[in-house]
Structure 1
Amino acid sequence: MIKLRRVFSGIHIEPFYKDYYLPQFNLQEKLWDGYHDIIIPDFIIQEEAKENYDVADFDNDEEEMLGTVRNTIIDDALMYNWVYAPRVYNEEVAHLCHLIPFRLITSEEDYELLSFGGCGMDMTYKLEAYQLLADDSYDANSNFAKQGVKYFEYYYGKESRILKEIKKRSDLKIAG
């Protein structure tokens, strides 16, 4: 059974996520010229390499393979022009929710961001799942508040690990 408590935060209202429009960072010029850096968590690079790459395809050069994997993940993270800075940053939870967590290091500020890793459809469910698992809260205006766990079953599947984690939560709070 889920216990509900009111707090003031959420996905659909400030301040759980702050969104950033990537072109404002001039990444095409500054990233590759060394003025900015993007840091992808090592465990994500290792997992992606293990699942989808063969070091033999890189003449057994593991460093070259991992560099390719890192660059591919960065391309995926930057595919959509919007990224989200959550109030609570948790790389493992983000990865579980099928988001790409990364750090954008600039000369002015360091950012902890989440990317959809794609575009073309509504991926709000990823942000809602992330908030549930990273903060134990959800917005009263969210799709989860209206549809419950069934909302995530459609996107993640009834037997998915993330759905099992969401169902374990008994201390969820309504935000907003």
Structure 2
Amino acid sequence: MKRFALIALALAPLAALQAAPKAAHFAPLDYFEQNCARCHGPNGSFYGAEFGKGLKDDAALRHIVKEMAEGPGNAPLSPENLEILTDFHRSLRDGTPYLVVVEAQQRKNCLVLSGEATPDSKITLGNDKESVAVKLEGHKWSVEVPRGFDVEKASLRAVKEGKEKRVAVS
């Protein structure tokens, strides 16, 4: 019995840790600023209102993003990162805020999520029971997830100019 109690005490800190959500480990807005913005403007601001409207489908958008990354951008992308950068361009085309989880780090007894979003968006992390405001500086955001917060049922929500985007955290 004493041995069981010692094992339980040793494992107690692990029980306090929260499951780390899926993170992209790729910062698409940083990539865009470094490789694309000199021609396409900060956050794609030089594209204009008609950007992507004439494309027949999502595959055409992905193809253009890939060609630009490999050609003028001179910064080819892995298939996973191409998909993430295409999602950024999809949000530009659709006029919705962009939001991505770039990193999830377990620190002491706290989970810290960080990522990128459309500047000036209002971002919250929420589940069925509670929500937490997320700090956004420029296009970088981060949030310390409170202990006991159910991350597995949580989503991030970005709102800008009445439009929103939700991203499941796990």
Q: Confirm or deny a common fold (TM above 0.5).
A: no
Structure 1 or 2: larger strand share? 2
What TM-score bracket applies, with the shorter chain setting the length? under 0.3
TM-score, structure 2 length as denominator?
Answer: 0.26
For the pair shown, the structure with the greater C-alpha radius of gyration is 2
Return the structure number with greater helix share. Answer: 1
Relative contact order, CA 8 A, sep 6+: which one is greater?
1
